[in-house]
């Protein structure tokens, strides 16, 4: 268990002794879920930080007012909801369910604040996580409005999925996705065909399956 916890973003760089001390003083709630059980509902208040410590979860993010949804599978160790625990908006914009059996570590917001105050390394870890997300979102937003079709789709996928995500899918109505990306339908189909030939995606009239997220990331980096 110590090795699993020390692989989580919040605890990286923490000594085993410090982690042992933390476990003794802090209520860590370990929860088990069977396949397809609900872990987080869309628009739930984010009152706890949650870590995937075993198994996998399915995260589904709908685009408000558009018939577009992004889903991804996250394997442990991983974190859910750290960027919605604080700030003006503290509700989850996505739903999360178990993808097979999985284990979740849950820490309440007050206990999490105590952890952050107990050692600067915890504070630095969470600040780095939050800053990285914020900086990425600015770059991706600018490219989404001005880049090529490849770049717009790549930034869309990369910005809404985690770097270790698998089984990434975009479920969509073509009109809504084209509107979201600001592109013409004919150009969209040509781009999809090209990306399929490159082995980056597979797609149908209602679903895009991202085969290689790293290649999407390469497209993003090439545009910088």
Question: According to the model, what pLDDT value does residue 146 have?
Answer: 63
pLDDT of residue 43 exceeding 60, the answer is yes
How confident is the model over 120-149, as a mean pLDDT?
Answer: 72
Question: According to the model, what pLDDT value does residue 17 have?
Answer: 87
Question: According to the model, what pLDDT value does residue 189 have?
Answer: 92
Question: According to the model, what pLDDT value does residue 18 have?
Answer: 86
**For residue range 20-34, what is the model confidence (pLDDT) as tens digits?**
888 888 999 999 999
Half-sphere exposure of 160 (CA within 13 A, CB side): 24
pLDDT of residue 192 exceeding 70, the answer is yes
How confident is the model over 3-7, as a mean pLDDT?
Answer: 82
Question: According to the model, what pLDDT value does residue 151 have?
Answer: 86
Are the C-beta atoms of 91 and 45 separated by less than 8 Å? yes
Question: According to the model, what pLDDT value does residue 164 have?
Answer: 87
Question: According to the model, what pLDDT value does residue 64 have?
Answer: 84
Show the domains of the chain with their CATH numbers: 2-57+74-131 (2.60.120.10), 134-222 (1.10.10.10)
pLDDT of residue 134 exceeding 70, the answer is no
pLDDT of residue 54 exceeding 70, the answer is yes
pLDDT of residue 136 exceeding 90, the answer is no
Question: According to the model, what pLDDT value does residue 10 have?
Answer: 85
pLDDT of residue 53 exceeding 70, the answer is yes
Percent of the chain with pLDDT over 90: 54
pLDDT of residue 144 exceeding 60, the answer is no
Question: According to the model, what pLDDT value does residue 48 have?
Answer: 95
pLDDT of residue 200 exceeding 90, the answer is yes
Confidence of residue 145 (pLDDT cuts 50, 70, 90): low
**For residue range 94-114, what is the model confidence (pLDDT) as tens digits?**
999 999 999 999 999 999 999
pLDDT of residue 117 exceeding 80, the answer is yes
Omega prior to 171 cis, within 30 of 0: no
Task: Please state whether beta strands 38-40 and 95-108 pair in parallel, antiparallel, or not at all (unpaired).
Answer: antiparallel
């Amino acid at each position: 268990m110590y090795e699993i916890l020390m692989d989580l973003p919040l605890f990286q760089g923490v000594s085993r002794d410090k982690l042992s001390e933390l476990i003794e003083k802090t209520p860590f709630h370990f929860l088990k879920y069977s396949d397809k059980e609900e872990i987080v509902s869309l628009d739930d208040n984010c009152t706890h930080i949650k870590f995937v410590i075993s198994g996998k979860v399915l995260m589904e993010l709908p685009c408000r007012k558009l018939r577009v949804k992004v889903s991804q599978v996250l394997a442990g160790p991983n974190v859910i909801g750290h960027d919605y625990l604080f700030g003006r908006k503290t509700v989850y914009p996505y739903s999360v369910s178990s993808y097979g059996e999985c284990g979740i570590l849950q820490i309440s917001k007050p206990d999490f604040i105590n952890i952050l105050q107990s050692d600067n390394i915890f504070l630095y870890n969470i600040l780095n996580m939050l800053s990285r997300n914020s900086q990425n979102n600015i770059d991706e937003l600018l490219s989404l409005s001005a880049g090529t079709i490849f770049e717009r789709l790549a930034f869309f996928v990369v910005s809404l999925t985690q770097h270790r995500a698998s089984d990434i899918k975009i479920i969509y109505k073509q009109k809504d996705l084209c509107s979201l990306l600001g592109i013409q339908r004919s150009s969209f189909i040509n781009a999809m065909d090209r990306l399929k030939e490159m082995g980056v995606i597979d797609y149908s009239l209602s679903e895009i399956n991202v085969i290689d997220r790293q290649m999407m990331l390469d497209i993003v980096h090439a545009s910088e």
